[in-house]
Structures are given as structure tokens and as C-alpha cells.
Amino acid sequence: MTTIQNIAILGATGSIGASTLDVIARHPSRFRVAALTAHRQVDELANLCRRHRPDTVCVADAAHAPRLRERLAEAGVGCRVLAGEAGLVEVASLPEVDCVMAAIVGAAGLRATLAAARAGKKLLLANKEALVVAGPVFMETVRASGAMLLPIDSEHNAIFQCLPPFASGELVAKGIRRILLTGSGGPFRSRSRAELHRVTPDEACAHPNWVMGRKISVDSATMMNKGLEIIEARWLFGASPEQIQVVVHPQSVVHSMVEYADGSVIAQLGHPDMRTPIAQALAYPERIEAGVSSLDLFRIGHLSFEQPDFERFPALNLAYAALRSGGAAPATLNAANEIAVAAFLEGRLPFLLITAVIEETLAGLPASPLATLEDVLAADARARVRANQIVTRLKAHAA
């Protein structure tokens, strides 16, 4: 008889949260929603509580907690309400929670995701920034607690499925040559760099295959999303930068591949639907129905692959450089990217200057070693200050 897993979803009102709740709802005998969190989307969170009846709910922006309590009272929902970052950490550590979906976008989810790892949870990692910003600290926490870490990014989940069972040692010792990390190339794959000067936020957010939040969509348009995934793959799978190759695959059907020493290449294919990796991780090591239709290869007809254009998309080179530098460099990369993308979405920075901000921030800050969470947070804070200064200067120059 299958034991019901109690699930906490950090970032329940986002696209990953919605897909997770959809999969859970298809399997009420397997999963139960125990806790939900959101940043400040009170109405959406209250509606989810009415539908899924969690025991605990948290709004990260504490100023919105009174309104959430009102909405829950009006709906007759008796959830315990937590607030702020301390509330997120508590949700991630609740003794009754078996599995945590970490789906808060950006470095904002770091503390809560680390708390889930420290508590030894089954941790479904959709928040790639936790590994980008704090890779060595995060992985040491996972090792020390015995947490089960399962990747949710479609590419890393695909790699996980193509690898042999996890074991200690480097990839070469497992007979693996390379990880082939696929990406669609985003909405500007076929545009020249000259054509990108007047790109608008709406254009950058119009991904050809995936439905994603605005920040992640912009990262896909610059290919920084793939850059962050390179760093994530290094920590998840123990790969060196030289063992991770980006492959542009416009159809988004092959989600990633692993090449072995004997020349074999194993790939994972499927529709571009996040419910597939979510269902795989929720039920691991079993398989369950995810609400995703069968892949019709005859209708697809052909699959194509291209080399990435590192000149048109310099974010990839910046990510490889940060990974090779190590220490605080990936945290600096991520923080500068978050600042630059926010400025672009707010109309304060042209699209092509997103990577310029990141490059200048990296050049101006040291890749100091990271040993503790405090080191990580200090590096993140320094990078944000510097990136904001650069954005302000560039905006004033443009004016």
C-alpha cells in the first residue's frame, strides 16, 4: 500500500507551483498538499488554500499576512498562517512534510531551500539559483543531512534519467564523457545581434515552446538561463566545465543527453511540459501519469541541433568563465543578472546591455571563496550594489 507523501510547495502561485498542484491532484491516494507559500499573491494563494486545504500557508512579504488571514477567514479555511523569510524556512522544515518543491525564482529562495536540505527532506529542486549561488555550501548540506535531491529543470531531470544510479566519484569513473545540455535558443535564436537593439520586454518574454515566468523568459532570450544551468549541472552531477556542452535544439523535444565512453548517447524525449519532470521526481523511483500526451514522432517529423552562437549570446561565455573562476563568481553572475533583468523589464535598461552589466560586475568583484551561507549572502549583496550602480550609470549615459 502506497504511503501518502505530504508535499510543501515553495512558490505555489508560479508556473511550477501550478504544474505541481496539477500532478498532485491527479493522484490523491499518493500525495497531499501540506503547505503552500507565495511572495505576495494573496488572492491566488487564498484560492489555492480553499481548493487544496493545506495545514500551513506562508506569504513571504509579511505586510500581506493580515490580508491573507482575512481572505482565509472569509473562505472558512483554517490554515495556520506564517510570514516572512522565517516563515518560508519553517515551512521547508516542517516535521510533517515529506517532500519540498523548491520553486521560488531567484536567490530569494536560497534560505528556505537550504532549510529543506538541512532538514533531510526529499527536495525537488526547481530553484536553480540555489546551486548557482551556493553550490559548494548547498551540496555539503545535502551530503551531511542525507536529503534526497531531485532536479526539476527539464534539462537536469533529463540528465538524471539518462545517468546510471547516483554513486560517488567523478563522471569519468562512471564511464561518462559528456553531458549534452539542450536548449531551444529562445525567441531570438535566428535574429542578428543588430536586430536585438530595440527588443521589448514582451518580445523577450514570448518563448516559442515553454510557458514560463517573465524573469526566466528573459533569461532564455539572453541564453543566461542555459548559462545558469551549466553551473547547476556542475554541482548536481560532479561535471567539469569541459564535460558540459550546450546544444541548441529548437524543437524542445530532446531535453538533454549523456554521452558514454563507448560512444553511446542516451537522450530523454518528451513534450515541453513541466509536469513530466515534476511527476518523475514526485513518484521517484516509480512512474506515474502526469497529464501529458504521448509524443507523436511522426507528427514532429524531424529533430535539429545547432551549435550555440557565443558572440550573439555572450551570457554563455560569462557563465563558463564564472564557473571556472569558482568561489563567489557564480553568485556574482546570478545577482548581477537578476538586477539587470529587472531593470530591462522595468524599461530602465536595453536588452543588449543585460550582459554588459553582468560582465562589468564580474570584472569589478573578486571571486572570493565561499565556506558558509554568510559568505554567500555577502557576495550576493556586494554584487547587487555594484550591478545597481552600473545600471544607474548606463541609464544616465543613455539619457
Domain CATH for 126: 3.40.50.720
pLDDT, tens digit, 9 for 90 and up, residues 160-191: 999 987 545 578 778 999 999 999 988 888 88
On the question of pLDDT at 387 being above 50, the answer is: yes
In a domain, 38, yes or no: yes
How many distinct structural domains can be found in the chain? 3
In a domain, 298, yes or no: yes
Same domain membership, residue 211 and residue 113: no
Q: What's the pLDDT band for 110 if we cut at 50, 70, 90? A: very high
**Domain interval for residue 87:** 5-151
C-alpha separations of 286 from 7, 43, 234, 289, 324 in Å: 17, 35, 26, 10, 37
Same domain membership, residue 330 and residue 309: no
Helix (H, G, I), strand (E, B) or coil at 18: helix
pLDDT, tens digit, 9 for 90 and up, residues 121-156: 999 999 888 999 999 999 999 999 999 999 999 999
- Which pLDDT belongs to residue 1? 43
Same domain membership, residue 249 and residue 126: no
Same domain membership, residue 159 and residue 299: yes
Same domain membership, residue 292 and residue 166: yes
- Which pLDDT belongs to residue 190? 81
Q: Output helix, strand, coil percentages for the chain, rounded to the nearest 5.
A: 50, 15, 35
CA angle 122, 127, 131 (to 5 degrees): 85
Same domain membership, residue 158 and residue 289: yes
In a domain, 279, yes or no: yes
Domain end among 151, 174, 193:
151
User: Which residues is 268 bridged to in the sheet?
Assistant: 256
In a domain, 181, yes or no: yes
pTM: 0.92
On the question of pLDDT at 210 being above 90, the answer is: no
What is the rounded average pLDDT of the residues 62-87?
A: 95
In a domain, 339, yes or no: yes
Same domain membership, residue 366 and residue 269: no
Same domain membership, residue 12 and residue 145: yes
In a domain, 320, yes or no: no
Q: Residue 80: which residues within 8 A CB-CB, separation 6 or more?
A: 55, 56, 57
Same domain membership, residue 398 and residue 379: yes
Same domain membership, residue 235 and residue 202: yes
Same domain membership, residue 164 and residue 271: yes
In a domain, 318, yes or no: no
Residue type, 121: K
Question: What percent of the chain clears pLDDT 90, i.e. is strictly above it?
Answer: 83
In a domain, 319, yes or no: no
* Sheet bearing 265-269, strands edge to edge: 244-248, 176-183, 254-260, 265-269
Domain end among 151, 180, 210:
151
List the single range of 8-12, 14-18, 41-45, 196-200 with lowest mean pLDDT.
196-200
- Which pLDDT belongs to residue 169? 58
Domain CATH for 385: 1.10.1740.10
Pairing of strands 99-102, 148-151: unpaired
On the question of pLDDT at 399 being above 60, the answer is: no
Same domain membership, residue 177 and residue 77: no
Taking CB atoms within 8 Å and a gap of at least 24, the contacts of 61-66 are 62/87, 64/40
What is the rounded average pLDDT of the residues 260-264?
A: 96
- Count CB atoms within 10 A of the CB of residue 376: 25
Domain end among 133, 151, 169:
151
